Amino acid sequence: MKVEPHIIRRYLDGTGKKDDKEKIISWFSGSQTVTELRQGYKNYWNEMTDSLEVEGYNEEKILGRIYHQIKIEESKFPEKPAQRKYTQRVITIFTKVAALLFIPLTIFILLNKDHLVSTDSDVAWSEIYAPMGTRAKFSLPDGSTGYLNAGSSIRVPNVFKGKSREIALTGEAYFDVISNPHKPFVVSGKNIRVVALGTSFNVEAYPEDQINKVTLVKGKVEVFGEKNNKSKSLGLLSPGEMCVFNSTQSSSEFVRVDASKIISWKDGKLVFINEPFPEVVKKLNRRYSVNIVIEDERLNNYSYLATFEDETLEETFNLLKLSAPIEIREHEREKKPDGSYGEKKIEFYFKN
């Protein structure tokens, strides 16, 4: 299905017709090649350049604006059960687009009344989600800002009531917190909690990982380990320190790190500091929205020291093969019953 640039223009301007959103989603869903997507983007860019007041063709800006607008509409009202599958399909489509283009998409989100979802209580909340292959930049009600890494989400009240500013995190996020000595800023993950007053720090707390990490850039934070509904203080972090908490063993250690490298993901960089091969694969899966499977355990003995920024997935693979005997087999995406496509499966074998 072909969508003319003027349809996307009027949709983003708020002057579109009732079925414009469905047409745009169908276009994304039906575009199966990078060539199709890039050409569609470029046609739209040529129409929009004057109103955007920027120079140069920018795929991230186009995809980010469309994604943002759709998510605003989806979050205005609580979802009914029948709508959840539709919303998930939207997320899947945009994840696929970012993955096909191999761009670490950044979505810019400002929390306001258009994002709020009502609950049964008198407090409305917002949930911001960065699908695999994307990043999301956000601004919170108190003026604090931050970034969400791929496959991460935060849940935020529209107003910080009570004695603290509570944020629920799934995945990895960087926070630049506005100082308020009378109202601590609290970030809670599945197994870890961070309490700050005014500071900049990074929290890595993916629910599937037993290792949680908190890195302090500036200021001071206190880190708590959570297990069996019990909270235990792990200590205070100083700038340039990382707290590594093993939730399975309930053990922790504080180590000195280069904080600028730890948080470089928010600027589109992928930094490996002598990381084991399984950790490298995990980060590649999140960044490029693919399903890489290690088929030979011998590869787990390798570690990497490298920095990737603008490389495509293919270029990244070529660089990895310079440091380890890797043979790569790629499979085509499988089409799902709802018409969307699953993640691309890629197998890593030991090359003899």
Cα–Cα distance for residue pair 337/175, rounded to 1 Å: 39
Residue 295 sits in a domain whose CATH number is 3.55.50.30
Give tens-digit pLDDT for 75-108: 444 444 444 444 444 444 444 444 444 444 444 4
Give the pLDDT of residue 99: 44
Is the separation of the CB atoms in 247 and 192 below 8 Å?
Answer: yes
Partnered with residue 160 across adjacent β-strands are none
Amino acid (one-letter) located at 338: D
- Residues 6 or more apart from 57 whose CB is under 8 A from it? 41, 42, 45
* 286 is a domain residue: yes
* 66 is a domain residue: no
* 238 is a domain residue: no
- Domain ranges, residue 279: 269-350
- DSSP state at residue 117: B
Give the pLDDT of residue 54: 37
pLDDT over threshold 70, residue 293: yes
Give tens-digit pLDDT for 23-37: 766 665 554 444 555
* 301 is a domain residue: yes
How does residue 46 score in pLDDT terms, banded at 50, 70 and 90? low
Cα–Cα distance for residue pair 233/221, rounded to 1 Å: 11
Q: Which residue has the higher pLDDT, 245 or 288?
A: 245
* 179 is a domain residue: no
Cα–Cα distance for residue pair 29/89, rounded to 1 Å: 9
* Tokens of residue 65, six digits: 């604006």
Cα–Cα distance for residue pair 79/75, rounded to 1 Å: 8
* 342 is a domain residue: yes
Cα–Cα distance for residue pair 290/133, rounded to 1 Å: 8
pLDDT over threshold 70, residue 9: no
pLDDT over threshold 90, residue 332: no
Q: 162 vs 2, 176, 182, 221, CA distance in Å? A: 51, 21, 10, 20
Cα–Cα distance for residue pair 189/200, rounded to 1 Å: 17
- Residues 6 or more apart from 53 whose CB is under 8 A from it? none
- Residues 6 or more apart from 283 whose CB is under 8 A from it? 270, 272, 275
Number of structural domains in the chain? 1
Q: 250 vs 75, 230, 234, 245, 347, CA distance in Å? A: 37, 11, 10, 7, 33
* Tokens of residue 70, six digits: 């759709």
Residue for token digits 């787990």? 300
* 345 is a domain residue: yes
Cα–Cα distance for residue pair 102/284, rounded to 1 Å: 11
Give tens-digit pLDDT for 169-185: 999 999 999 999 899 99
Give tens-digit pLDDT for 247-271: 888 899 999 999 999 999 998 888 9
* 274 is a domain residue: yes
